[in-house]
Structure 1
């Protein structure tokens, strides 16, 4: 996969030396509370290694990028197309910023915009979609600023943080992205 350059970040390939960075967030409750239930239980190092090996070998259904500092190439997070439905030209997106110190700085929004452009221009996908918990307001604002729209809700679908929360379904179409004048 090519590297993609933004103003403050780059999207690059996964590397073996990303393992310690991924291990720092994969069991951090303040980060994984916003992610899917695959992070409900602690992840052993072998699981993280297996994920990274699959990304390195291209044997995973997921395709994606590490969000990195453009000068040092240091790991900031990752943005992936977790599934791609080639027949219908649809990709399901997942993103994480791996450090609380780097959240809220716009890195995720910039990474998502780069991924959207890549998915629509280079991969010729027609639709990107994602799900987000209703209490993850920062992420929802970011996705809206990238052009995603709320398409529906699964009411009280997830039990998180001692209460039931909605899952918000969001999507962006290539035609909407073009109509918004995106590059």
Structure 2
């Protein structure tokens, strides 16, 4: 089996419809985007999103097939030395669990640390999203329990875990990946 290589390209207006179609319900939207969008996701919201010059939004392309398989983002943090990795989504269910997530996060970390020259990257993940947590831990993220939060989704209370990666650790670990 060929390795799952991905490349990141700018998310543009022509990509809106695909992303809207991937988000089937409110739960999926909140899992993917937190509270920045309302369900149903609209082109109007996405126009505002792509017009925000502080956000680096990407479509994720599977390199061998050249198919768009996902979405990812780097956003500024309150801390000027830190960026947030967020809105990571593998669109079609049949592409999930195949190792794309690790490759996406790997590339986002390289952008954060080497292109944007940041010292830390953080992300939030819901505590029930065990597959994503495992992916982040395998890459070297550690939990920051001081930044856990909660969100109400309809009648359910969802706990969001904060995880962090430091550039110094990434520099010592990133060359060891073989995926």
Report the TM-score range of the alignment, normalised by the length of the smaller protein. Answer: 0.7 to 0.9
Structure 1 residues 25 and 13 mapped into 2: Cα distance closer, same or farther (>3 Å)?
Answer: same
Question: 1:45 is matched with which residue?
Answer: 43
Q: Is this contact kept in 1: 2:59–2:70, CA < 8 A?
A: yes
The answer to whether residue 12 in structure 2 is matched with residue 15 in structure 1 is yes
TM-score (norm 1): 0.79
The answer to whether residue 113 in structure 2 is matched with residue 126 in structure 1 is no
Structure 1 residues 89 and 101 mapped into 2: Cα distance closer, same or farther (>3 Å)?
Answer: same
Q: Is this contact kept in 2: 1:66–1:78, CA < 8 A?
A: yes
Question: 2:100 is matched with which residue?
Answer: 107
Distance in structure 1 (CA, Å) of the matches to 2:159 and 2:11: 32
Alignment equivalent of 1:92, drawn from 84, 88, 96:
84
The answer to whether residue 67 in structure 2 is matched with residue 74 in structure 1 is yes
Q: Secondary structure at the match of 2:17?
A: helix
Alignment equivalent of 1:145, drawn from 138, 144, 164:
138
Distance in structure 2 (CA, Å) of the matches to 1:122 and 1:149: 22
Alignment equivalent of 1:176, drawn from 165, 169, 179:
169
TM-score (norm 2): 0.81
Q: CA deviation at 1:166?
A: 2.0
- RMSD between aligned residues: 2.6
Distance in structure 2 (CA, Å) of the matches to 1:137 and 1:173: 22
Q: Is this contact kept in 2: 1:78–1:97, CA < 8 A?
A: yes
Q: Residue deviations 1:14-40, cap 9 Å, x none?
A: 234312211212344463242312345
Distance in structure 2 (CA, Å) of the matches to 1:139 and 1:81: 17
Distance in structure 2 (CA, Å) of the matches to 1:14 and 1:74: 14
Structure 1 residues 42 and 147 mapped into 2: Cα distance closer, same or farther (>3 Å)?
Answer: same
Compare 74-83 and 43-52 and name the one that shifted more: 43-52
Structure 1 unaligned regions, length at least 5: 1-5
Q: Is this contact kept in 2: 1:31–1:100, CA < 8 A?
A: no
